[in-house]
Amino acid sequence: MLKQMLLFLILSISTTVFSQTVNDVPISEIDVEYVRIVGTGKLLSTKVTIQIDFGQRNKIFKTKDTQVKDENGKLTSFNSMIDALNFMSKNGYDFVTAYTLTIGNQNVYHYLLKKRKE
């Protein structure tokens, strides 16, 4: 009995410790069929920052509400859009389509994803 309780405690801690969130909602628990990730390059870096739009209500000019945060509440950056796509795949989403817009010499990547049926 003690081993089972310890195993349950370890599993509970490990799933909450490594969960990333958007707007304080864990990525794997977003309860919508489609999401859009928008990636922009970081200034003087090869990394990208993504925002996740799942239809949530946001405050005007609060882009940090749509960015991925780690378990400590810090903003997460990705090595590339493929890194972000792999991250989303691990959290239960499949790629649908993508397009790029160029705004002021900066590419802004838009990926549409669909939640995988379990």
Task: Give tens-digit pLDDT for 19-74.
Answer: 676 666 787 778 889 999 999 888 888 899 888 888 876 655 555 577 888 788 88
Structure tokens at 89: 């795949």
Sheet holding 106-115, edge to edge: 77-78, 48-53, 34-41, 106-115, 93-103
Which residues does 117 contact at the CB level (< 8 Å), separation at least 6? none
**Residue ranges of domains in the chain, CATH in brackets:** 32-115 (3.30.1410)
Structure tokens at 2: 């003690």
Q: Reply yes or no on whether the pLDDT at 18 is more than 60.
A: no
Question: What's the confidence (pLDDT) of residue 1?
Answer: 65
Exposed/middle/buried for residue 14 (C-beta within 10 Å: 0-12, 13-18, 19+): exposed
> CA gyration radius for the chain?
16
* Alpha helices (runs of H) in the chain, residue ranges in sequence order: 2-17, 81-90
